[in-house]
Amino acid sequence: HLFSKCKNKSKMRKISSIIGLLCVAGCLANEALLPVLDSCLVCSSRTNLTCATDPEGATKFPCENGPARSGCYTRILEGFTYRGCAADLDEDVLNSCRNNENICTICVGQSNNIAQGCNNQVFPVHRHQCHQCRGEINGTCDGIPLGLPTVCEMFDSNDRCFILRTSTTITRGCLSNRGTNCEDPNHCHICEISGCNNLHGEAVPIAPGSAVTNTISMLLLSTSFIFFLVKSV
């Protein structure tokens, strides 16, 4: 009787082991049947400038709204850069991407495999680059820039670089950047080639608007000082 019990326990252990192996095999089979999702950078330079200027450091997200191998997109809209999963675009935008690679592009993984953050390159590849800084006269921005020019935040196919010099500051950047104060081209040194705004600050004339503003400020200050002296006497 005791032997029979032991024999039954041994049999039960074998059955449990077999069932366990079958369960594992079933789980693996189910996982193999699941679609492998694309993974893309999802961002907008409207809220995150690095989406346009330094996309390689952005985070990848799985694409859950479409079939595998739909790919990733990078798109320019009103100068801003957008990145995401191609499956999230409507048909009209997809057609636009296919027909105009200067404002939108779709990538897939190598050898048509799943996309793994393939939309992580600066777009378009010919995007303008300028030296970009702001500083006091005689500061690091005032001298000849030592570093390489950097990608412009906004995309403009006719973009240019500028240097704006006032009596106290030097500003270098892309003409497409918001708030450049270069609406009057006479107030800025403007050039067309990437990285061309590399002149020493002393080689750039002081912006006329800045000079006028400073002169008025000095006159007002002098008038106030004279009035103070007269009042004191």
Helix (H, G, I), strand (E, B) or coil at 71: coil
Helix (H, G, I), strand (E, B) or coil at 102: coil
- Quick check: 108 pLDDT over 60? yes
Could you tell me whether strands 80-85 and 72-77 are parallel, antiparallel, or unpaired per DSSP bridges? antiparallel
- Quick check: 130 pLDDT over 90? yes
What pLDDT score does 151 carry?
A: 96
Q: What is the pLDDT of residues 133-143, one digit of tens each?
A: 998 876 889 99
- Quick check: 228 pLDDT over 60? no
- Quick check: 112 pLDDT over 90? no
Read off the amino acid at residue 168: T
Confidence at 30, pLDDT banded by 50, 70, 90: very low
Helix (H, G, I), strand (E, B) or coil at 150: strand
- Quick check: 218 pLDDT over 80? no
Q: What is the pLDDT of residues 44-101, one digit of tens each?
A: 999 999 999 999 878 888 888 777 678 899 999 999 999 999 989 988 888 888 888 8
Q: What is the pLDDT of residues 172-208, one digit of tens each?
A: 999 998 777 787 777 899 999 999 999 999 899 888 7
Could you tell me whether strands 129-130 and 150-151 are parallel, antiparallel, or unpaired per DSSP bridges? antiparallel
Domains of the chain, start order: 39-112 (no CATH), 129-210 (2.10.60)
What pLDDT score does 224 carry?
A: 38
What pLDDT score does 199 carry?
A: 93
218: enclosing H helix or E strand: helix 208-232
- Residue 204 backbone dihedrals phi, psi, to 5 degrees: -105, 125
What pLDDT score does 213 carry?
A: 38
- Quick check: 17 pLDDT over 70? no
What pLDDT score does 216 carry?
A: 34
